[in-house]
Amino acid sequence: MYPALLPINIAGEWRPGSGEEYASIYPATGEEVARLNAASAADAEEAIERAHAAFLSTDWARRLPHQRAEVLYRVAALIRQRAEMLAQLQRQDNGKPIQETRALVASAAATFQFFGAACETMEDIITPSRGEYVTMSVHEPMGVVAAITPWNSPIASDAQKLAPALAAGNAVILKPAEVTPLLALELARLCEEAGVPRGMISVLPGKGSVIGDVITRHPLVRRVSFTGGTSTGKHIAGIAAQKMMPVSMELGGKSATMVLDDADLDHAVNGVLYGIFSSSGESCIAGSRLFVARGIYDEFMQRLVAGAQALRVGDPADEKTQMGPLITARHRESIERYVELGVSEGGQIRTGGVRPAGSQFERGWFYTPTIIEGLDNQARITREEIFGPVLVAMPFDDEEALVEQANDSIYALAAGVWSRDFKRAWRLGRAVQAGTVWVNTYKQFSISTPFGGWRDSGLGREKGRAGIVQYMEQKSMYWGTNELPLAWANPSH
């Protein structure tokens, strides 16, 4: 599929990076998908400077909103035309099951379509006059902005940053995760084919410690949008504070799922399984802390364990696979250490906790869906983000204690409530501290609805109509309507 050395995109010029050569690996088999040279610090510097020049010299920022929207619509159409190729590439890039990667590709197309529509219907406002002048508030592009995306859902994450940044009129430096570079490069090609001017997009694969640092510190980069680990996010935020640069951060999570005694158990069991084990648990919003009303705990857990054991772990290319491999061998080892820690803390493994047996699993980085109980909310594995298919289940006795435990976390990204009682669900949904709360469902998303976290789960919001505004500067303008000169300068004043 690819040449011997895959080129990267430096402000519209496709060429090998000047950093170290490395391979993109298929997590299901450990085989190489492509080889490429990473971008170097010098490449990043060049990309930023050339992006700034493109921002000034092309007409992209000056196009009328509906004209930029036309290009975004063409990107959406191209993604749909090549959906199966992109889905298969996404499967190879990070090992997600093909059914899931198809959904991610469809999400990326919908994202470009939504922000095209949001772009051409975005309104500036005339504010109420307080004197002899007309006042208005307008928004303008920032210039060069940067998007740093994670490895767990590349094409969807890339689109959620790239589409609004382009809609706003900016040049974009896209830094994909080192281990999943392929979809960002393909998306840049589609954008260029759709009519985004040369130089307005760069894609810089490689180590975040090298490229991300250059991007964040460079004076021409006016904003950084980052999705990834909390410690890295805090590092970026510290640099941004010195530059007085705005940032948006979508960081870690340790989301609580709460099953009340009046919940529909069929819905709740399926929802909890989907919330933690889809994407092999490699999801920031995974419902990794489970609180179940004590009166239904035993029955619920019996059904949940049976459901977890029935999940199909296997080849991501198989249409029936529900859980594919983990992203790397190193990440699987981290998850295994967390499970060992949970057992040492007094937890009991109800199911999973091992690598699956069979020759088909020998080369890839697979792990079984794992449920642990017997721990409280103070155990390390109930407080630290594991980012894998590990669920810790705990009973609760009353709503007051439930809310206290659910909120007792440095993270506040998402939560789930399962109850037939609308008023109870509303009360809990408002009491739990999280950026997103699902009631009687889980892990559902809409590009039209803002998304983000509180506390160590992040800053700012993505998605929604206001998603464009975060990539723009706001300006107030005053138009004088006074008939006489300003009186202050008159000699008789």
* Residues with catalytic roles: 250
Instruction: Tell me which amino acid residue 19 is.
Output: G
Q: What is the largest CA-CA distance in the chain?
A: 96
Contact (Cβ atoms closer than 8 angstroms) between residue 184 and residue 150: no
Closest CA to 436 of 425, 445, 423, 424: 445
- The sign of the dihedral angle between the CA atoms of 462, 468, 473, 475 is negative
Structure tokens at 475: 């300006």
* Beta-strand relationship, 31-37 and 144-148: unpaired
Cα(403)–Cα(418) distance, integer angstroms: 14
171-175 β-sheet, strand order = 13-15, 8-10, 201-203, 171-175, 144-148, 221-227, 247-250, 458-459
Q: Quote the CA–CA distance of 330 and 344 in Å, as a whole number.
A: 21
Q: Are 6 and 185 in contact (CB under 8 A)?
A: yes
Give a three-class secondary structure readout of 242-257: HHCCCEEEECCCCCEE
Q: Is the dihedral of CA 187, 192, 194, 196 positive or negative?
A: positive
Written as six digits, the tokens of 414 are 């998402």
The alpha carbons of the chain give a radius of gyration, in whole angstroms, of 24
